[in-house]
Structure 1
Amino acid sequence: MTSKQDPFVLFNPSKAQKTGSDRRTGRNDNPLVCQICFKPFGTNRALREHIGDFQLEAQQLTARLLEAQAHLPSLDSQHHAVSNCNMEACHSDNDGSSDDGGADNDQDDDGDENDASSGDCVPGWEDHTGLQCPYPVCKKRFKKRQGLVRHFQLHLPCYEICVYCRDSFHRVRPFLRHQCIAKTRGDDKAKVFYTKERCAQLRRYANETLHQMLAPEDTSHERTRKRGHEAMGECEHRSSKVPMATVDHGADQRPPIEDNLPGDGFRNDVHRSMQPAPILSLPNEPATPANTFNTGLSIPFPFSQMT
């Protein structure tokens, strides 16, 4: 006897048809697991957002790595920085193009006010009446320090990348003047703080480098003045050690011994109040300074009576 039976089929939840509510909520009985951290998620949307966070973090780390690599100087970039490109940039840029170092049309960054501020100013620059660019192949003169600072920033190489548009810069001045359009699109306080602090560091670095290149002449004068003060101090020190001509340091400064000592009256009173002790003397005793001293004083020593 044969009976017709339906074949047994294993139920697969992943192949089951979804209802309308499942499609709307995105619910799935099969748990979704991240292949990186193996964290389960209930919906595909949550898993995609989680993966997107990982991808964003990877992009940020890659950008930071490229930024760090861009700061590493290479031989080609150094040679390019000191070549004629700087001179071409000097003639192509309007900063400090006139000899008076005056009018430039920098209205795009806040570095102009900071360049002339007292915080970045190096003491002693006001003493320079005629300021000349210390770059070897550039001898432009300026009447104002602000014009010289802006001009010198064109010569100074750097390796900077804009954190907004990822554009690279190899000189300080273009980086300070860079106005990124992408800067207004986001409100990332960390990027704003980094850009502001980095620009301030580059301005201080440019001012200190320029001051060091202008300082050799001032340093030579300072060294000459310092050596003069040291020579005067050495002369005064030597003069203090010279003995006075009225003092004879080779002679004996001890006072002479007088025969009439001020204790004679006291000794006479002692003779009246005390019996004189016999003085012990040897028949063939040679004259010694001690005996002579005791005889001259004629003071009896009572210690001779002690046994």
Structure 2
Amino acid sequence: MRLFDNDAEVVAELLEVPAEELEREAKPVTAARAKEVIAELRAVQGARVPVVRAHPGQRDRSLRNRRSTARPRLRRLRDALMPRDGDFRSGCSRWTRWAAPGPTVGRPKGSGDMVPSDQLAGRITELLDADPAVTAATVVEHLGIATTTAMAGLAQLRGQRMAALVEAAPELSLDAAADQLGYPVGARRRATAAAQDEQRRNRVRPYLQNVTDDLAQAGLADAGDVKIRQLGEHLAAAVVLRPGQPAPALVWHEQYGWRTAISRRHPIGKVSAPEGEGIRYLSGELQPKASVLIDALADGRRGRKRP
């Protein structure tokens, strides 16, 4: 970067890699190695090529000049920094994705999953039905998704099935359920955690669904199934209200109870206990009746600004 006046745009285009990846992959190169590379380049070229600086109004022309001047030098710099014949002592701690010999594993960096998110659970379910011990690598190979996405999807589906089996047969433990379903030992830690979360969802889902139905019956929201999501270590759910109501939505948090939200599109957000304008915590109880929420929502004087 210093060789080209810290112009990431020029260097990234010449290397044909994203600027973010260029900066990240350049970190393992030590200062001593960088000095050696610069010395080698100067010895080959004989003298340093001056950087063409742009004047006001001449940015485009200056950029073209710097690109044409820098291209041969940057090719030599790239060859000098890359490991030769797998020798990692040559300056880089590992191969970069764009320089690695042969195909890389998983989804190409920067690309999206090949399966739409609304179809992902169904596609993973098919693979899990065919082989209960299916690995994340197999899911990645078949569906073309990221490894982390495959691992999370498998854990969630296995956890749901383990929780359902324990609910149907309470005498079973989660480990016994995993044995009965044929899940491998290496996948049980994630699956057990997902099963425990699913059990917590099952315990609060009837209450949240009743509140959602009561709000819909009162004309404050549309009828529908409540969706419970994980927010950090706790569970959260949202009920989007109809236009014209005192708040865009109501949010329930496992630790703080019900509050108003300021966004209809993303009511839960990323903060467990937000504060500020438009946020009111409607009850001191974690599971109040829907009538209490309706009264508190209509009366702006009720509720608290903090949990």
Q: What TM-score results when the alignment is normalised by the length of structure 2?
A: 0.22
Higher Cα Rg, which structure = 1
Which one scores higher on RCO, CA 8 angstroms, separation ≥ 6? 1
